[in-house]
Amino acid sequence: MDVLTGNAGVFASGFFVTFQIVLLAAVGALVLGTLVAAMRISPLPPLRWLGTAYVTVVRNTPLTIVFFMTAFGLPEIGVDAGFLRIPLLDSLFTRLGTDVPYFRFAIVALTVYTAAFVCEALRAGVNAVQPGQSEAGRSLGLTFTQNLRLIVLPQAGRATVVPLGSVIIAMIKNSALAGAFGVAGDLFQTSDELTSAQGLPAIPVFIGVAAGYLILTVPLGLLLDRIERSQAVTR
């Protein structure tokens, strides 16, 4: 307990950095995954092929490889993920604007990887919508985009809340890889600093790190259970 209480500030700092990573990556994955899902169900064959290729390649590639390609491949072609230095956003998340880009690389890697799973969760929800719903939209003269935005996605959202929540929980746990690729200050990097640099015993340090991830995942899991039970009652 002395290790945990004596280094509470260090653990809190690592938790905050990890929280920023997973929050930004979750938003990015939901946006990118929605776009890829729209491509997967598009009436245009090239878009369907492109969406299918993205999901097939990314879902079957280990996340470690995605991190390697992002953290070491992007700098080789002169990309530092500077597009994430969004005005106002980088003032809220100051690490987005730093000259050390590994924080941004971690967000890109998690976003690209998780978006493939978000896409499939959304596509499953879309497939659960009765075909007559979209046919009715087309009969009213709605375009594909309008049909998707106004009719299909709102109905699919109900069926995809729990699967999407599970995807986000998995992403939170996957974010532990960020520390191994140079993201200073996150929970995983904190454990390495305390055990290697300061020589503290590993078990209590990793208990503290695990507690940080549990704080992020357990409430979300409980919320998903509640949503699932409420959906079962209303059916």
Residue 34 lies in a domain: yes
Give the pair of three-digit tokens for residue 226. Answer: 């509640």
Residue 217 lies in a domain: no
CA distance 230 to 225: 9
Q: Are 137 and 150 in contact (CB under 8 A)?
A: yes
The amino acid that residue 224 corresponds to is L
**If you ran DSSP here, which 8-state letter would residue 88 be given?**
T
Residue 86 lies in a domain: yes
Residue 213 lies in a domain: no
Residue 56 lies in a domain: yes
CA distance 169 to 173: 7
The amino acid that residue 55 corresponds to is V
Beta-carbon neighbour count of residue 97 at 10 Å?
16
Residue 127 lies in a domain: yes
The amino acid that residue 40 corresponds to is R
Helices (H), 69-143: 74-76, 89-92, 102-128, 131-139
Could you tell me the CATH number of the domain that includes residue 44?
Answer: 1.10.3720.10
Residue 228 lies in a domain: no
Q: Which domain holds residue 84?
A: 21-187
**If you ran DSSP here, which 8-state letter would residue 85 be given?**
-
CA distance 57 to 36: 13
Q: What string of pLDDT tens digits covers the 235 residues of the chain?
A: 666 666 677 778 888 888 999 999 999 999 999 999 989 988 888 999 999 999 999 999 999 999 989 988 888 888 888 888 888 887 778 778 777 788 889 999 999 999 999 999 988 888 777 777 777 777 777 777 777 777 777 777 777 888 899 999 999 999 888 877 766 556 766 766 667 666 667 787 788 888 888 999 999 999 988 887 876 665 5
Strands (E), 82-125: none
**If you ran DSSP here, which 8-state letter would residue 150 be given?**
I
Number of independent structural domains in the chain? 1
CA distance 193 to 107: 22
Residue 25 lies in a domain: yes
Does the pTM exceed 0.75? yes
